[in-house]
A and B are shown apart, each in its own frame.
Chain A
Amino acid sequence: MTARTGTIAFVPPRFGAEVVGGAEAVLAEVAAGLAGRGWQVEILTTCARDHYTWANHYPPGVERNDDVTVRRFPTVVDTPGENRWRVHQLISARRRPTITEQQLWLNDTFRCPRLFEHLLDHASDYRAIVTGPYLAWTTFATATAAPDRTILMPCLHDEPEVFLDVYEPMLSGARGIWFLSDPERDLAQRVVPSRTARTEVVGAPIVPPPRHDPDRFRTRHGIDGPFVLYAGRREAGKGWGRLLDAFGTAVRREGLHLHLVTAGVGDASIPEDLAPFVTDLGFLDEDDRNDAFAAATACIQPSALESFSRVVMESWLAGTTVIANAGSAVVSWHVERSGAGLTYRNDEELVECFRLVAEKPDLVGSLAAPGRDYVIDHYLPERVFDAMEATLFDWTTP
């Protein structure tokens, strides 16, 4: 048995109970899980809560969070964002910026010099430094300061940014990479075909909630009848706008009797004429959110940029079918492997999914049957932590 000696540091860009973000949630759960197994764990993170402004919200310094030591460092946001915006236009147009432009783009966002300084001074105190997602400045800085101790959880998406030259040293020079799915690993091999670091597909830990109570949710929010659920950030990048457009088509043009319930952060921007058909619940606590999954006829995952998709797992644990954007290789992979949902390739196919929900809710509901077992077989925390520990023992030394 290899000893759990040495300290594992985790570097998420944000950390805290009020922080919303998939990668941040995964890193926090893994940190807590490994601490629960007897590892010394530290969180090195910023003072930010909001990923739009990156303003300092939490005080800098050291605090204790259950079994984990949290060190917070202030963010600096002092650039106008012109370089980021200009180079983003190039990236979006699938043009290749020069390395110098890429570096300007990378640094024209929040930065955290005190965190970098801490890593310069103390990287050798840590057995491993786990960091992600790949787009965060903190991740790039960690991989620059201490590549030989960095384990990336990059949460890669198939988007133009991932192919930038600046990420190649990060993906090839880290001590190792934990991927959340096979398609994410395949993408990394496309990005750095010649040489990636040691890798392992470990998945993300999903804890089944003790109970789901759909009736409590319906009573609390006054919702009757079948509905589809979107739970997540209401942002263009997450596919919210297109989901709303397709739902509008289903209701206005096709006259479907359907209700859309949404929960999460961000401005939902619901058109006036759709307001009677859409309920925005804003941010829900965990229990209420789990109940919402159980109450829904189907859960929609419209994002094409997913590296794991917790909402899909949460939906299946609640016994609810997933309707997902086939543009996400990862979510399609989950749906194909589990058989617990439908995918759509365009807006018209999504409208037809909505029709099926409206006209055959029992059929749609029955599709979820294999989903719960799929999550339990692959993503119970014990399984995921076993895989992570195996790599820690193999790749690192105290």
Chain B
Amino acid sequence: MSRLLVVSPYAPYRDGIAAYAVQEVRWLRAAGDDVEVLSPLPSAAHHHLPLGRVRGAVALLRVARRYDRVVVQYHPALFFGRSSNGPTALLTWAVLVLLVRLVPVELRIHETNFGVGRLPHRVLSRRFLAGASDRTVHTTAERTRLAAESGLAEERFRLIDHGRSFRTHTMLDRPTARRELGIDGDPFVFLSIGFLQEHKGFDRALEAFGRSGVDAEYHVVGSARVDAPDILAHVHRLRTLCATIPGAFLHDRYVSDAEFDMWIRAADMVVLPYREIWSSGVIERCALAGTPTIVRRVGGLEDQAGPTTRLIDDDDELVAALRDAAGTSEVADMDAPTNRTEAQALVRERAAARAGVEVRSTNEAVEALRLLPPIMLPLPTSPRPWVTRIKRVIHRLTAWQLSPLVEQVAELQRRTVAAAESLDAQAAAGSVDRRA
């Protein structure tokens, strides 16, 4: 039995890599290994360190030497935050090179930044990769790309089955799953599921569904993980598309693992129209459920494709695949205008559908104000008792001056939001020009 440290985002955080890590930890432990987990944020992991900072990576060196080997669920954000460039990133790469020299490190590569940055960054990243005791990827496309980026031979990247440690979270059959989800009748059901982000391409799939004219339902299921303006705008676009395309539905919800699999079980066809991706856990979950997929040929998805996967390259192929799946013969493209009147009508219809997005973008200003966290004095606490004591002394000495200022700013913030909301409401009612 070897002592293993898995370095990864971890439950109860819920994202693809955290879920992958939980399932691999369960699998490794069942195989007899003594596994502990280290995560970048406090979680159900045994340890946590701020890995996105150099000091976190340095601390990882101290922890890692206590284990026989280390498994890293590698993606750039784990160690580099938002930037893989600059002096901080260079230091982090240097520490990671030390890590692979200190202890055997297995890399499960989910995303890459190995070919990014200036020459010193690239040199160190190659040394890190080359020094790892094992490098695994999920698709041959990833392997080829990594080999090109790193200069290492393709044979040094081992292919593993993405879904080898996955377990299904539902035992329901299709009719029961549909009943549970409130899908009435017996429609042909297309599904796209996951966090709502532009790179997932759910919007293009909905547009293709609208063009296809098939007699079916298209369900998009997922939620926005953060309230960034671009993501809010994307969700609003999906909502607008679903409102204007018959048979399309958006379920803007944060669903459980069981419900996630229940949707896959309920669907006749899962569509992965991704604009960009390395590899996908959704395909593996579809394989577990026996649900066929339509998958855009991007990243390593082609390698993950099974016998019931139909690969597509563009939106026209997607339209054809939707029609074939639903057993609908080619029909006239409903959106294709044949004369000026129809073209004008189409332009107006589309503009009207987009109008909602435009209105939303104005509201985003209010939303952005509303989402500003309230200003407040930091809590005088720390895991280290002596630091807490010092913070409390500082807090007592300065609070009489700072507190009134904080209250004043917080009040200003509240009133600004209220004023903006009021103005927006008046604008919506037409009594005030929105530009005011």
Contact = CB atoms under 8 A, between A and B. Distances in A.
Interface of A: 77-82, 85-86, 89-90, 93, 95-96, 98-100, 103-104, 106-108, 111-114, 116-117, 120-121, 140-141, 144-145, 147-148, 165-166, 168-170, 172-174, 194-195
A93 B374 contact: yes
Given A95-B370, A98-B227, A116-B44, A168 B383 contact: no
A95 B374 CA distance: 10
A82 B223 CA distance: 26
B46 interface: yes
6 closest A-B pairs by beta carbon, nearest first, are A173-B256, A169-B256, A116-B44, A173-B258, A144-B12, A107-B42
Contacts of A81: 379, 381
B12 A103 contact: yes
B30 interface: yes
17 contacts: A78-B48, A79-B42, A81-B381, A95-B370, A99-B223, A99-B226, A100-B225, A107-B42, A113-B46, A116-B44, A141-B12, A144-B14, A145-B22, A169-B259, A172-B255, A173-B169, A194-B182
Contact of A113 (B22, B44, B258): B44
Nearest to B371: A95
A108 B42 contact: yes
The winner among B14, B45, B256, B382 for most chain A CB atoms within 10 A is B256
B316 interface: no
Contact of B12 (A82, A93, A107): A107
B43 A107 contact: yes
B251 interface: yes
Contacts of B254: 99, 165-166, 168-169
B324 interface: no
Contact of A148 (B169, B226, B227, B251): B169
Contacts of B224: 99
Given A117-B46, A120-B29, 19 more contacts: A77-B383, A80-B382, A82-B379, A99-B254, A107-B12, A107-B41, A108-B42, A113-B46, A117-B29, A117-B44, A141-B11, A141-B12, A148-B258, A165-B254, A168-B254, A169-B255, A173-B257, A173-B259, A195-B259
B266 to A, nearest CB: 12
B180 interface: yes
Contact of B41 (A104, A112, A166, A195): A104
B118 interface: no
Interface string B249-283: 00101111111000000000000000000000000
Nearest to A108: B42
Contacts of A89: 373-374, 376
A77 B388 CA distance: 14
Contacts of B258: 147-148, 172-173
Nearest to B180: A195
A144 B23 CA distance: 12
Nearest to B225: A99
Interface in B27-71: 29-30, 37, 41-46, 48
B378 A82 contact: yes
A181 to B, nearest CB: 24
Contacts of A174: 256
A85 B377 CA distance: 11
B181 interface: yes
Given A99-B225, A166-B254, A169-B259, A111 B43 contact: yes
A172 B37 CA distance: 28
Contacts of B170: 148
Nearest to A92: B374
Contacts of B11: 116, 141, 144-145
Interface in B124-147: none
